[in-house]
Each structure stands twice: as structure tokens, then as C-alpha cells.
Amino acid sequence: MAFETKLLLLTATLPFWDLQAETEPEIHVGELKIISQNEHRRLKREQFCQVLCLPNWFLYNYTCYRASTATRTWIQSELHCQQLVPGGHLASLHSLETNRFLVTLARNKLSSYVTWVGASDKYKLGTFFWTDGSPWDYSNWKHYPAVNDVHYCVELNIRHVDIYKMEIKYCSERKHFICQYKPDFP
């Protein structure tokens, strides 16, 4: 059984200790968070590599993301992402951490509880793929999709704090969406 080491990150602001002062200085503790060792490495890499996204795009794990306040069908959303930036596509999810990041981004930027992501079974019924061509190595289904005679596209439902699941919907529905692209590295 493999064990994953967890790291504790604590941010704090420590004032200059004035030895002449009558009282002890205050310590203002910021955010206390337990993260995985892999997440800690990722944060350090991004901190030391000057990876920059275009304005209004947000960097996470060497990928730039943007939540669109417009609503479009799934294919219109994908085409819009491709037109925004070279290499642009609807967002693909490859880990629970990315899933959580996209939920946070959507909650902060959108007025809806659902958003298109870049998966569908448009090419083969019941077989989902990411539009950016990346491997299907993660899923977080609310209900595992049933195979029938209809092609579906995937939305990320962010309605509840602890429930942010992928769901299949008709591709013709209009929803907000999240685009992504891989930035150039200096």
C-alpha cells in the first residue's frame, strides 16, 4: 500500500520584534492548509518558472484557464475557445485537484451552477474524449452515463460545495464554459 506524504503550509506575518516594547508582538496567521507533496512541488515549479497567461486567464498546473460569462452550445463553446487563442479548447479534467480548481474558477466568475467542459461522445456513442486530444484518465461522474442512441456532451455541475460532478447533457443546451490552453514557457 502506497502512502502519500502530506505537507502543512502555514502563512504568517511576523512583525519586527521590538525589544524595547512593553508587549509581545502579534502574530497574524493566514491560511492553514494541508496539501499533498505533489501539489507542493507543482506550486514550487510554477513559482520558480515564470509562466504567464494572457490577461483574464488563470494559471493552474501549467495550463491557462478562462471562464466565459457567455452561454453557447457545446460545439459553439469549443469553437470559441479555439478562436480565442492558438491551442485553445474547452477545459479537460485530469485530476481531482484540477476539478476543484475549475469549480473555484467557475464559482468566482460565473452566475450559473453548470459549465461546459471539453468532453463528449460525439465520435463514438458511449466513449468520451477530450477535445484537446489528451487521454481520458480521470472522470468524476454524478451518474455513470448510460449508452443509448444519443450523443452527449459533458458539463461540470458546481451547485453544491462538496459535490462537483461531471454530468452528460444534450450538446444543444446553452451553458457557460471554461476554455484552456498551454502557455509557452520562457
pLDDT higher than threshold 90 for residue 46: no
175's enclosing H/E stretch is: strand 175-181
Half-sphere exposure of 132 (CA within 13 A, CB side): 21
pLDDT at 161: 56
User: 98 lies in a domain?
Assistant: yes
Q: Are residues 109 and 23 part of one domain?
A: no
Across 18-22, 87-91, 135-139, 151-155, the highest mean pLDDT is recorded for 87-91
Are 36 and 92 in the same domain?
no
27, pLDDT greater than 80:
no
CATH code, 166: 3.10.100.10
Q: How confident is the model at residue 51 (pLDDT cuts 50, 70, 90)?
A: low
> Which grid coordinates belong to 58?
488563470
One domain, residues 30 and 99: no
Q: Distance (Å, rounded) from C-alpha 88 to C-alpha 62?
A: 14
Same domain, 155 and 174: yes
The DSSP annotation for 72-116 comes to E-HHHHHHHHHHHSTT-EE----SHHHHHHHHHHHHHH-SSSEEE
**38 and 62 in a common domain:** no
Cα angle vertex 131, ends 126, 136, to 5°? Answer: 55
- Quick one: 28 and 95 in the same domain? no
What is the C-alpha separation between 152 and 7, in angstroms, rounded?
40
In a domain, 186, yes or no: no
Range of the structural domain that residue 168 is part of: 54-181
Residue 107 has pLDDT above 50, yes or no: yes
- Say if residue 38 is in the same domain as residue 65: no
- Residues 120 and 82 occupy one common structural domain: yes
Between CA 40 and CA 9 the distance in angstroms is: 9
Residues 34, 96, single domain; the answer is no
Q: Are 61 and 98 in contact (CB under 8 A)?
A: yes
Quick check: 169 pLDDT over 60?
Answer: yes
Q: Residue 64: inside a domain, yes or no?
A: yes
- Residue 125, all three cell numbers: 456513442
Residues 82 and 120 both lie in one domain: yes
pTM: 0.71
135 and 88, same domain (yes or no): yes
Number of domains in the chain: 2
**Dist. CA 92–CA 107, nearest whole Å:** 17
90 and 32: one domain?
A: no
Highest-pLDDT range among 21-35, 84-98, 161-175: 84-98
Query: Does residue 154 belong to any structural domain of this protein?
Result: yes
d(Cα 155, Cα 91) in Å, to the nearest integer? 10
Work out the number of other CB atoms within 10 angstroms of the CB of residue 97: 16
Q: What is the pLDDT of residue 45?
A: 59
